[in-house]
Amino acid sequence: MRTALAFSLLISPAAAWEFSASPICTLSDSSAAGEIIVTYDPAITEYTITITLPDGTWPDGRIFRMAFVNDRPINIQTDRFTLSPDRRNLSVTDRGFGNVLDGLEFNTRAYANLDDTTVGINLTGIGSAITAFRDCPAAKLS
């Protein structure tokens, strides 16, 4: 089943990336593979990325990784992540998200991984939403 999560987005039609500036800057996408939400809260100057599994739970793991692939590949990893009580949501919060934003904007696919669970994220069509997120009225984002 976990392998199916990784590849289900590859065969699913591309969903539309969405941007909202209220109440905080939010970039999101939802598909059969799961949901991804990136936020920036200017009141506390923090970014958060949350990846929600549609079924199942994130496993115990020590290192969360994201690989952005295509024209400008980027690999990031951290041990500073949290899981929701039901273990369906994995979140990473930080004050700097330049590599994440670049990875989303300049590539066509991303893979979020913790232990033996990998979620494939289609970045096709993110262009106007990521531009709006970076230009969010709440704050100019880098």
Q: Which residues contact 37 (CB under 8 A, 6 or more apart)?
A: 26, 27, 28, 48, 49, 50, 52
Q: Name the pTM for this structure.
A: 0.86
> Dihedral through CA 73, CA 90, CA 80, CA 4, nearest 10?
-50
**pLDDT tens track, the chain, 142 positions:** 444 444 444 434 445 899 999 899 999 999 999 999 999 998 899 999 999 999 999 999 999 999 999 999 999 999 999 999 999 999 999 999 999 999 999 999 999 999 999 999 999 999 999 999 999 975 454 4
Supply the pLDDT for residue 3.
43
Task: For the chain, list the domains and their CATH numbers.
Answer: 2-134 (2.60.40)
Supply the pLDDT for residue 15.
55
Instruction: Of 22, 38, 41, give the one whose Cα is nearest residue 30.
Output: 38
